[in-house]
Structure 1
Amino acid sequence: MRGPAWPIGALLLGYPVWWALGFGGLSVIVLAAPMAVILWRRRPIRVPRGFGLWLLLLAGYAVSALMLADMPPDTYGGFNAGRVIGYLMRFALYVALLIMVLYLGNLTERELPQLRLVRMLGVLFVTTVVGGLLGVFFPRLEFTSPVERVLPGWISDNAFVQNLIHPTAAQTQKVLGYASPRPEAPFEWANAWGSNVSVLLIWFVVGWWVYGGGGRKAAAIALTAVAAIPIVYSLNRGLWIGLGLAGLYLIVRVGGRTRLALCATAVAATLAFALSPLASLVGQRLDNPHSNDIRAFTVSATIAAAAHSPIIGYGNTRNAMGNHRTITTGKTEWCGGCGHPPLGSDGQLWLLIITQGFVGAALYVAFFLGAIRRHWPDRSPIGLAGVLVMILVLLYMFVYDGLVTPLSLYLISFALLWRNARESS
């Protein structure tokens, strides 16, 4: 892309390259630098309504650094470089995302048409489906990225950093009682893939079906059908619930022939799925809710720890003592990834509670609730899709971490709503 919109094109269209290089979700930090320079030259800068809430969230995270060395009861671990690195990376991501939203909102329709931005998200959906298929059919695919090669070991060996810079096709877990590969390419975690594919599917439908011609519509049908394969093999119940909620939302909010067409499509898709081999895999996943007890333990431990610093949190996650079964957990020869679960690892809401206290979590919720309230009357395709994403943000915060890539897509969707309201006013 040419003109001032090039950083957005580089982020969304060039994402597979960023992933292969080892930047992945960190690419928004790299591209925030030219965005900030261009924004500075275009002063005065317009800001969206609700922007103050995000600034307060960012300010609160800066203050939470004061608690990095503190330890709440029933947690363990010393103050070390890993804790500081995790904090600084999250802080840099929050700042970069703020710059990205302002950048998108200050581009004119001529510089970056809404439909072009929507279709770029659609291209990233295609990339995500391809990555999901890689995870299903080539789950062992992984490689050392250039970024990983040049970073010193004391940084690259950090678990949080490793997930961001080491490209893998799938995350293997014993979800069904045996090793099950869950697609994650080209993102950092299997849950990030689940969150992202649902958000990108929404914009793919808008750009390729709602505003598409005959060829785009046919491609949309075919690609959506193919996407069902990695969506099912992801074993991601949060994703499945999110897609169900999206269908219900659309049926309620649209009317006339569109509603009838949606209902008919939903019935046909359900029948086709029920008759496919994928249905049995969903049944197995629902019969093996092994993660429920783990999530219940970490959530309760997170709330208990945060109660000792409810205003500013602890700046970063902490490790809980024990798990839902015993206090003597740790790595073994057969389970190198086992250990004490980090608090805040089961959803953005819980991450905010431990890192920024209950105040930070409330600011996050208020930001997205405010977006839903302001843009609910917008019944254009972009308005309906954007509000749906904001609703999914509030659903997913209970089960998915927003950082790194999911929050980028959430805020691009927010920027689309802001731009849409500005153009219609």
Structure 2
Amino acid sequence: MARESDLVVAGSAATEGRQIWQVRPADLPVWPLYGMFALMPVWWALGVWYFVWPFFGLVLFVLLATRGSVRRPAGTALWLIFLALVAISAIRLERSTQLLIFGLRLGHLLTAFLVGVYVYNLRRDRVAWTRIANPLIIYWLALVALGWFGVLAPTFSVHSPLALLLPDGLAGERFITDLTTLDATEFNRFSENPIYRPAAPYPYTNNWGTAYCFLVPFVLAHLTRVRGRPIRVVLLASLPLSIVPAFLTLNRGMFIGLGAGLLYLLGREIARGRVRLMLPIALIVLAGWIITLFIPVADLITNRTTTTDTTRDRLDLYLQTWTAVSHSPLLGYGQPNSVDTTHAAEPLGTQGMIWQVLYSHGIPAVIVMYLLFLVITRRMAAAVTPGGMWLSALPVIAVVITPFYAFIDPNMAVLFAGIGLGLAAVDGPAGSSPPRTGSVT
């Protein structure tokens, strides 16, 4: 009869043999994130930024598919249902020529989903926080620099290289023109007293404000991870510098979104009897107040709203959008009926994420979208680290600004890159293997 020790040795050898032949998931590289986020100024200058974005989503999909053993963050099932509803709504398009813009928007949604899953898996694979976050930090610094470019050169406007190469049929499409023209600011060219609002690298200033909402919590989370490094000094300087172009966008929804995020974090801190985030929040509010001593933000916003009837126009547009949706409540109309939010008679499906999804894809898609954000918010509420807590404000900010801003564009990927990191912070590293050599966590 074999001794028990021999059986133990044989069992250990068999286990080691199985481990030798076991296929391990391939490591995911970080370079696609650099290509997407860090090279944003290059893609913008070429005029291809919005068009190249879905191709990076395809790269992420291929890398995830070839890797295998992809971990699914909270909300994945709802994401897939939402994407399916969006795709089905294509049958409501009236012209085949609309498929190009529809496909572009769908590509941005797919890319945002894949960015979130990719970042989530990177972090749970114990890839260093700084390696994952650095591409978005470069993106942030570029956003601030281009915002200041709009402050200093407000009338700058040139055709991009792509715009010069497009055939007349495509170049004449308003949406394509907006994406391929390099404007430092957005302003009404027909106004006798135009208000120049920083927009670059985006075609519209509201997109700049949306990016700002999503990136400020990300930068604050990053600052909790890079103490004692030169990049910390750069980021600390960039935050107050960013307030000037941010205020000059006159984006009321941006202020509301950031304010809601700060109130959410304060409420969590008070409920848990903690004060860790109160000092940085107080400093942010103080910096904003100091800037208002030099920039009359309230007066500028009042002047804009009294001269353009922007609030009344929005409310009228919302009513018209809801009336139109009542005739196609399940699938909507595939996409907004116009992208010209300044001069179009009835640009239905614009002026806010909820209105764009409602008009373009129907009531079920809106319900699923909000359920997705609810699931993510509840999961990220479990964060206990300072970095995780800052990121937990992202889905709250996203929900609050949905009546004002749409973000089916690169901003959706920015949002879900931060959410992916936040969900990974809550779920923790997978397995029990030690961190990779040379990584800094």
Name the TM tier (shorter chain). 0.7 to 0.9
Q: Which residue of 2 aligns with 1:304?
A: 323
Question: How many angstroms apart in 2 are the aligned matches of 1:64 and 1:346?
Answer: 20
Q: Which has the larger radius of gyration?
A: 2
CA contact (8 A) 1:302 1:354 kept: yes
Q: Which residue of 1 aligns with 2:406?
A: 401
Q: CA deviation at 1:223?
A: 1.7
CA contact (8 A) 1:29 1:92 kept: yes
Relative to structure 1, the CA distance from residue 271 to residue 133 in structure 2 (aligned partners, 3 Å threshold; closer, same or farther) is: closer
1:181 aligns with 2:196: yes
Relative to structure 1, the CA distance from residue 375 to residue 206 in structure 2 (aligned partners, 3 Å threshold; closer, same or farther) is: closer
Indicate the structure whose relative CO is greater, using CA pairs within 8 Å and at least 6 residues apart: 2
1:62 aligns with 2:87: yes
Q: Which residue of 2 aligns with 1:74?
A: none
Q: CA deviation at 1:203?
A: 1.3
Deviation string, structure 1 residues 285-338 (Cα, Å, up to 9, x no partner)? 135422111111111111111111111111112259xxxxxxxxxx9xxxx962
Q: Which residue of 2 aligns with 1:325?
A: none
Deviation string, structure 1 residues 254-305 (Cα, Å, up to 9, x no partner)? 365535524652564355234x221x23223135422111111111111111
1:272 aligns with 2:287: no
Match of 2:122 among 86, 103, 107: 107
Stretches of structure 1 that go unaligned for 5 or more consecutive residues are 70-78, 321-330
Match of 2:237 among 222, 225, 250: 222
Question: How many angstroms apart in 1 are the aligned matches of 2:318 and 2:289?
Answer: 37
Q: Which residue of 1 aligns with 2:363?
A: 358
Relative to structure 1, the CA distance from residue 151 to residue 111 in structure 2 (aligned partners, 3 Å threshold; closer, same or farther) is: farther
Quick one: which amino acid aligns to residue 392 of structure 1? I
For 1:307-326, what aligned pairs fall within 5 Å after superposition?
307-318=326-337
The SS at the match of 2:202 is coil
1:9 aligns with 2:34: yes
The SS at the match of 1:364 is helix
Q: Which residue of 1 aligns with 2:63?
A: 38
Quick one: which amino acid aligns to residue 137 of structure 2? G
Q: CA deviation at 1:348?
A: 0.8
Stretches of structure 2 that go unaligned for 5 or more consecutive residues are 1-26, 431-441
CA contact (8 A) 1:232 1:282 kept: no
Number of equivalent positions: 398
Q: Which residue of 2 aligns with 1:163?
A: 178
1:149 aligns with 2:168: no
Q: Which residue of 2 aligns with 1:384?
A: 389
CA contact (8 A) 1:93 1:404 kept: yes
1:294 aligns with 2:313: yes
CA contact (8 A) 2:47 2:181 kept: yes
Relative to structure 1, the CA distance from residue 55 to residue 256 in structure 2 (aligned partners, 3 Å threshold; closer, same or farther) is: closer
Match of 1:203 among 211, 215, 218: 218
Quick one: which amino acid aligns to residue 80 of structure 2? L
For 1:247-286, what aligned pairs fall within 5 Å after superposition?
247-254=262-269, 256=274, 258-262=276-280, 264-266=282-284, 268-269=286-287, 271-274=289-292, 276-278=293-295, 280-286=296-302
Question: How many angstroms apart in 2 are the aligned matches of 1:158 and 1:177?
Answer: 26
Relative to structure 1, the CA distance from residue 175 to residue 198 in structure 2 (aligned partners, 3 Å threshold; closer, same or farther) is: farther
Q: Which residue of 2 aligns with 1:20?
A: 45
Question: How many angstroms apart in 2 are the aligned matches of 1:235 and 1:138?
Answer: 17
For 1:90-101, what aligned pairs fall within 5 Å after superposition?
90-101=105-116
Deviation string, structure 1 residues 145-184 (Cα, Å, up to 9, x no partner)? 2222332222232122222222211111389983011111
Question: How many angstroms apart in 2 are the aligned matches of 1:167 and 1:106?
Answer: 35
CA contact (8 A) 2:126 2:429 kept: no
Question: How many angstroms apart in 1 are the aligned matches of 2:58 and 2:282?
Answer: 47
What TM-score does the superposition give when structure 2 sets the normalisation length?
A: 0.83
Question: How many angstroms apart in 1 are the aligned matches of 2:31 and 2:223?
Answer: 22
Q: CA deviation at 1:360?
A: 0.6
The SS at the match of 1:119 is helix
Quick one: which amino acid aligns to residue 357 of structure 2? L
More deviation, 108-117/165-174: 108-117
Q: Which residue of 2 aligns with 1:339?
A: 344
Deviation string, structure 1 residues 236-255 (Cα, Å, up to 9, x no partner)? 11112222223323333336
Question: How many angstroms apart in 1 are the aligned matches of 2:29 and 2:166?
Answer: 31
Question: How many angstroms apart in 1 are the aligned matches of 2:205 and 2:175?
Answer: 14
Q: Which residue of 2 aligns with 1:120?
A: 135
Question: How many angstroms apart in 2 are the aligned matches of 1:144 and 1:174?
Answer: 16
Relative to structure 1, the CA distance from residue 264 to residue 202 in structure 2 (aligned partners, 3 Å threshold; closer, same or farther) is: closer
Relative to structure 1, the CA distance from residue 175 to residue 345 in structure 2 (aligned partners, 3 Å threshold; closer, same or farther) is: farther
Question: How many angstroms apart in 1 are the aligned matches of 2:190 and 2:394?
Answer: 27
Question: How many angstroms apart in 1 are the aligned matches of 2:382 and 2:28?
Answer: 33
1:368 aligns with 2:373: yes
Give the ranges of 4+ consecutive aligned residues of structure 1 lying more than 4 Å apart after TM superposition. Answer: 108-111, 174-177, 214-217
More deviation, 153-162/399-408: 153-162
Question: How many angstroms apart in 2 are the aligned matches of 1:26 and 1:354?
Answer: 23
CA contact (8 A) 1:209 1:220 kept: no
CA contact (8 A) 1:372 1:387 kept: yes
Question: How many angstroms apart in 1 are the aligned matches of 2:152 and 2:91?
Answer: 46
Q: CA deviation at 1:99?
A: 2.8
Q: Which residue of 2 aligns with 1:49?
A: 74
Identity of aligned residues (%): 23
Q: CA deviation at 1:419?
A: 2.1
Q: CA deviation at 1:88?
A: 1.8
The SS at the match of 2:197 is strand
Question: How many angstroms apart in 1 are the aligned matches of 2:189 and 2:302?
Answer: 14
Quick one: which amino acid aligns to residue 416 of structure 1? L
What TM-score does the superposition give when structure 1 sets the normalisation length?
A: 0.85
